[in-house]
Amino acid sequence: MTLIKTTYDRRSFIKVSTLSSGGMLLGFSWLASCKPDQVVNMPKEWFDINGFLKIADNGLVTIMSPNPEIGQNVKTSMPMIIAEELDVSWDQVTVEQAGFNIKKYTRQLAGGSQSIRQGWESLRMAGATARRMLMEAAAKQWDVPVAEVTTEEGVVKHGDKTIGYGEIAAVAATVTVPEEVELKDPKDFKIIGTPRKNVDGSKIVSGKPLFGLDTQREGMLIAMIEHPPAFGMKLKSLDSSSAKAMPGIHDVITINTSVPEGKEAQWSDTNAFNELVVVVGATTWQVMKAKKALKVSWEEESPPESTSDHIKSMYDLLGKNQKEPARLDGDPKKTFRNAAKVIERIYSAPFLAHNTLEPMNFFADVKEDQAELVGPVQTPEFMSKTASAVLGLPEEKISIMMTRMGGGFGRRLYGHFGIEAAIISQKVKAPVKLVYSREDDMTQGTYRPTYKVTYRAALDKNNNLIGFQVRGAGVHGSPVFANRFPAGAVDNYLAENHTLESNISTGAWRAPRSNFIAGAEQAFLDEVAEAAGKDPIEFRLELFERAINDPVGEDNDYDAKRYAGVLKLVREKSNWSQSTPGVYRGVSAYFCHNSYVAQVVDVVMKNNQPKVQKIWCAIDCGIVVNPEGARNQVEGGMVDGIGHAMYSEMTFKNGRPEQNNFDSYRLIRHREAPVEIETYFVDNGIDPTGLGEPSLPPIMGALANALAKATGERLYEQPFVGQAIELG
């Protein structure tokens, strides 16, 4: 049992009251103050439907899921945490998506694999506080000390006496919010740690409207944008006469989404094109056709860039020292000079588009004194601020409802499409749904930047790793994490970063930076192990031993024991020591988003083509809330990683994206997917850490290492398909 201070702003309970039907609604606030605030008794006669959970008179519980759902399963797993501490049966629970309300819910953001980690304590508190209030209400009714009262699956108990949560809910709603609540001992968890199916599963498989693009409203118009055809270009002139004359077309306008001077722009406003042509009409097809009839001319705003320019510039950067290195341990220069063996390799990867299968879209209904925004956004908090700035409305007059998202992967952190929809609605004075075509979506990205990295390793005559250098370059930032492994495990270590500026917009893409550097690093370590004549797992474990027993430096980001733990687990589960003829194995291990992952990939040759036969994945992400959803995330992350390492790239010619749809941009498909995946979670009772991203980065390395064994060719440049490798 853990005793924690509750952190609710008690003033938020002013509006809480009982339902006429006898239900209870708790309006929790997630303001982080731990100091007890003034306690306000709750009135009885009215309530505000904005709470965190409500209990009906029949004992059914509705839990509001605070965070945006992008397919990472939080709409199931976050309410599971509340239900656990509330002590109800999961069958009694229905889940609803909460709209944006940062005063009630902290961190309504989907990103960084942090929803569960950062929500863990406050979600438990939400359930535990409600449970305590139900217990106090029952204790008072029975005139017994609350310490003698217990609960079990939606029932309060004392001796032979029992009362259902629904029966006591009305009284519980009048109980003073406790200042301290007990949390369950994890060994008593009944819901957390048990597999639960996606709460939206039946709606998804029967095609119910769930997504932003499914929004339909009376009088709603459809809007589509036309943006410059190349990065570095802007609107010069527009002739919209033909388009305007087409059937169903309401108007053709131009908009500028820049945040007005004097107002603060948000990090999430990242977007290459602020001035856009907009076609507004009755139906999507009519608007799509009218877009083709637009006569737009564009002009150069900044010099156009091509992929060949980026490649050259990054090679140039890799040839330069960083004046003040990101990290320097020992004397790498001398070490490399005196080394018995030096291994040096360069790895690179292209820009990637997010390509959520649901293209960008948003609904907006902006009136003179208020605005309603509905759609897929990972960062409603920041959209609210920008919407307020561009619309000239106070934030409290803007409502944002997050729809289930047809994928996020970081793309919907950047909510410019919602801002565009809002401005369009304000201009045309009508409810509007903005729809991006796939081409609009892919050619106006916040792309994963293109990267290059040089690794150098120095071995002594006994094949010990005595020196390690990493120098990274990337558009808008280097991919190198200076304090991650093998920093801390090598005496002489140097990490350097270089940045290439660009007019191509980039942003977070599932496991930012890690999504490239992990694969490069793990492929490189494989070659170093080979050069040292060591088993790749043994080689890594030796380094972890060093980091455990005698770490170099103090600022190492990882826990070497947990790192080694997943590697040992995957070694055991995959029977690493046992070799099977015709099966080629690659291994990798990586730490990101606070979690540790190790993977073994088995490749077989079929008709002279490599096929990923099986993946073993061991992951340490602390307590796993929903093993069913967690396993699905881990599997998906690995398939995603294999697909992007193998096939995907965005290239540019004079600023113009050379891919604009799935005929030119390749994504992994059924036939190329691994045949089998086994996932193992480390059971250690540690508070949960990230899971949506960590399985993706290392798989690129494990795959490259397995393919190298299968084909004899080391792979340095993503996508690997460019090196004539195809998965069977």
Q: Indicate whether 668 belongs to the interface with other proteins (CB under 8 A).
A: yes
- 251: which strand partners? 280
Q: What is the phi-psi region of residue 53: left when phi exceeds 0, alpha when psi lies from -120 to 50, beta otherwise?
A: beta
> By CB under 8 A, how many residues form the interface with other proteins?
69
Q: Which residue type, as a one-letter code, is found at position 355?
A: N
H or E stretch at 524: helix 514-531
Q: Indicate whether 200 belongs to the interface with other proteins (CB under 8 A).
A: yes
The pair of structure tokens assigned to 456 is 């150098």
Tell me the closest approach of the beta carbon of residue 620 to other proteins, in angstroms: 21
Q: Indicate whether 690 belongs to the interface with other proteins (CB under 8 A).
A: no
Sign of CA dihedral 573, 576, 578, 584: positive
Cβ nearer to other proteins, comparing 102 with 583: 583
Using CB under 8 A, pick the residue from 198, 386, 425, 659 that binds other proteins. Answer: 198
Q: Closest Cα partner for 225 from 208, 216, 238?
A: 238
DSSP state of 128: H
Q: Reading across the β-sheet that carries 327-329, which strands appear in turn?
A: 327-329, 492-500, 465-475, 451-459, 341-349
Cβ nearer to other proteins, comparing 145 with 219: 219
Cβ nearer to other proteins, comparing 520 with 639: 639
Using CB under 8 A, pick the residue from 359, 472, 586, 657 that binds other proteins. Answer: 359
- The span from the CA of 8 to the CA of 13, in Å, is 9
Cβ nearer to other proteins, comparing 289 with 573: 289
Cβ nearer to other proteins, comparing 372 with 640: 640
Q: Indicate whether 57 belongs to the interface with other proteins (CB under 8 A).
A: no
Tell me the closest approach of the beta carbon of residue 663 to other proteins, in angstroms: 5
Cα angle vertex 65, ends 63, 67, to 5°? 165
- The span from the CA of 526 to the CA of 586, in Å, is 9
With beta carbons less than 8 A apart as the criterion, state whether 610 and 707 touch. yes
- What's the Cα-to-Cα distance from 463 to each of 332, 455, 546, 555, rounded to whole Å? 16, 17, 15, 26
Tell me the closest approach of the beta carbon of residue 651 to other proteins, in angstroms: 18
Cβ nearer to other proteins, comparing 355 with 711: 355
Q: Indicate whether 205 belongs to the interface with other proteins (CB under 8 A).
A: yes
- The span from the CA of 271 to the CA of 130, in Å, is 43
Stretch that binds other proteins, among 60-68, 91-99, 253-261, 284-292 (CB under 8 A): 284-292
Cβ nearer to other proteins, comparing 68 with 479: 68
Using CB under 8 A, pick the residue from 638, 646, 700, 707 that binds other proteins. Answer: 638
Burial of 264 (0-12, 13-18, 19+ CB in 10 A): exposed
- 656: which strand partners? 653
Tell me the closest approach of the beta carbon of residue 70 to other proteins, in angstroms: 6
Q: Indicate whether 581 belongs to the interface with other proteins (CB under 8 A).
A: no
Using CB under 8 A, pick the residue from 285, 302, 312, 582 that binds other proteins. Answer: 285
Q: Indicate whether 574 belongs to the interface with other proteins (CB under 8 A).
A: no
Using CB under 8 A, pick the residue from 4, 253, 667, 721 that binds other proteins. Answer: 667
Query: What does the per-residue mask of binding to other proteins show for 428-467, with x meaning CB under 8 A?
Result: -------x-xx-----------------------------
Q: Indicate whether 698 belongs to the interface with other proteins (CB under 8 A).
A: no
- 297: which strand partners? 237
Cβ nearer to other proteins, comparing 474 with 519: 519
With beta carbons less than 8 A apart as the criterion, state whether 588 and 571 touch. no
Q: Indicate whether 607 belongs to the interface with other proteins (CB under 8 A).
A: no
Cβ nearer to other proteins, comparing 213 with 494: 213
Using CB under 8 A, pick the residue from 662, 685, 722, 726 that binds other proteins. Answer: 662
Q: Indicate whether 201 belongs to the interface with other proteins (CB under 8 A).
A: yes
- The span from the CA of 83 to the CA of 682, in Å, is 24
Burial of 530 (0-12, 13-18, 19+ CB in 10 A): middle
Using CB under 8 A, pick the residue from 2, 58, 176, 202 that binds other proteins. Answer: 202
Q: Closest Cα partner for 152 from 82, 84, 52?
A: 84
Stretch that binds other proteins, among 114-122, 450-458, 636-644, 703-711 (CB under 8 A): 636-644
With beta carbons less than 8 A apart as the criterion, state whether 270 and 446 touch. yes
Q: Indicate whether 711 belongs to the interface with other proteins (CB under 8 A).
A: no
Stretch that binds other proteins, among 9-17, 301-309, 407-415, 556-564 (CB under 8 A): 407-415
Q: Indicate whether 54 belongs to the interface with other proteins (CB under 8 A).
A: no
- The span from the CA of 482 to the CA of 476, in Å, is 17
DSSP state of 659: -
Count of other CB atoms within 10 angstroms of residue 231: 23
Tell me the closest approach of the beta carbon of residue 275 to other proteins, in angstroms: 25
H or E stretch at 498: strand 492-500
Tell me the closest approach of the beta carbon of residue 419 to other proteins, in angstroms: 22
Q: Indicate whether 208 belongs to the interface with other proteins (CB under 8 A).
A: yes
- The span from the CA of 411 to the CA of 204, in Å, is 22
Cβ nearer to other proteins, comparing 464 with 632: 632
Q: Indicate whether 659 belongs to the interface with other proteins (CB under 8 A).
A: no
- The span from the CA of 531 to the CA of 335, in Å, is 17
Which parts of 87-116 interact with other proteins (CB under 8 A)?
none
Which parts of 221-280 interact with other proteins (CB under 8 A)?
222, 245-247
Using CB under 8 A, pick the residue from 118, 258, 284, 654 that binds other proteins. Answer: 284
Q: Indicate whether 686 belongs to the interface with other proteins (CB under 8 A).
A: no
Q: Indicate whether 640 belongs to the interface with other proteins (CB under 8 A).
A: yes
Q: Indicate whether 614 belongs to the interface with other proteins (CB under 8 A).
A: no
Question: What's the longest Cα–Cα distance across the chain?
Answer: 82
Q: Which residue type, as a one-letter code, is found at position 307?
A: T
Q: Indicate whether 637 belongs to the interface with other proteins (CB under 8 A).
A: yes
Contacts of 184 (CB under 8 A, 6+ apart): 1, 84, 85, 124, 128
With beta carbons less than 8 A apart as the criterion, state whether 456 and 290 touch. no
Identify whether 486 is preceded by a cis peptide bond (ω within 30 of 0). Answer: yes
Q: Indicate whether 556 belongs to the interface with other proteins (CB under 8 A).
A: no
* Phi, psi (deg, nearest 5) at residue 96: -125, 145
Query: Could you list the residues that contact other proteins (CB under 8 A)?
Result: 70-73, 195, 197-198, 200-202, 204-211, 213-214, 216, 222, 245-247, 283-286, 288-289, 355-359, 404-409, 435, 437-438, 628-629, 632-633, 635-640, 643, 661-663, 667-671, 673-677
